[in-house]
Amino acid sequence: MKDEEKKPTNGSSRRGMSRRKFLRGVGVGSSVLSTGLLGGPLLPEAEAQGSAARAVGPTAVPIELTINGQRRSLRLEPRVTLLEALRDHLEMTGAKRVCDRSSCGACTVILNDMAVYSCSVLAIEAQGKNIQTVEGLARGSELHPVQSAFVEHDGQQCGFCTPGFVMAVKAFLDKHPNPTPEQMRVGLGGNLCRCSSYEGIRKAVMEAARRLPAGRNRDAPGGRPNA
């Protein structure tokens, strides 16, 4: 029997390569790839430290925003949204981060007379444009007509959607001073109220439309022209 060829056992080939040896070899090869080719421990120490110290992506750049008539200077990364700039860097927390994907309208601000979702506008893109937020509507303790109409007609419950609705309503009424119910339904369709205060909101919109003067002085509190 010594001259007979031994039969291969399970998991091995006739040349003696078992599955265990094959998998062990694959593991060693993967380890070499992950350390050597991908810049791990096989790099010289100084080069490895330099690689770790390099910044990835654009760094902060100076930008200037005009918010409620005031110029604000900031240093922000280009990826920062207008909503993040307002809330996290300027402590203007009226615009709310709720869906963060342009679906609910809680972050609505007015950009060059147009209602926009600030979660989907880069702060760097808003430079040179007139930004209006809910913080700029009231004059001291005197509310803007849209704000006071929301209070009087109970157009809010939890309040998360309210600032976005107020700004959307203002932008809408600036373009439609005497809206029809259908115009109101379509014009404010981009804002959602999870508490379903829509009946109060509709009444507030029509009341604000009656109070606001026509023309260019619609930013005045109480519906009176600016001095």
Q: How many domains does the chain have?
A: 2
DSSP state letter for 47:
H
Nearest to 197 by CA among 151, 149, 146, 154: 154
Residue 10 scores a pLDDT above 80? no
CA distance 208 to 179: 11
Question: Is residue 108 within 8 Å of residue 150, measured between CB atoms?
Answer: no
Q: Is residue 18 part of a domain?
A: no
Q: Is residue 27 part of a domain?
A: no
Mark which of 86, 109, 136 sits at the end of a domain: 136
pLDDT value, residue 33: 43
List, in sequence order, every beta strand (DSSP E) within the chain.
61-67, 70-76, 108-111, 114-117, 130-132
How confident is the model over 157-175, as pLDDT tens digits? Answer: 999 999 999 999 999 999 9
Name the residue type at position 209: A
121 and 144 inside one domain: no
Residue 85 scores a pLDDT above 80? yes
CA distance 93 to 106: 11
97 and 130 inside one domain: yes
148 and 223 inside one domain: yes
List, in sequence order, every beta strand (DSSP E) within 37-180.
61-67, 70-76, 108-111, 114-117, 130-132
Residue 27 scores a pLDDT above 50? yes
116 and 167 inside one domain: no
Q: Is residue 189 part of a domain?
A: yes
Core vs surface per residue 80-89: b (16+ CB within 10 A) or e = bbbbbbbbee
Mark which of 136, 169, 185 sits at the end of a domain: 136
**Structural domain of 177:** 139-227
**Whether the predicted model's global pTM rises above the 0.75 cut:** no
Q: pLDDT grade, residue 58 (50/70/90)?
A: confident
Mean pLDDT computed over 107-131 = 98
pLDDT value, residue 49: 57
Q: Is residue 53 part of a domain?
A: no
Mark which of 96, 113, 136 sits at the end of a domain: 136
CATH classification at residue 96: 3.10.20.30
Q: Is residue 20 part of a domain?
A: no
CA distance 25 to 33: 13
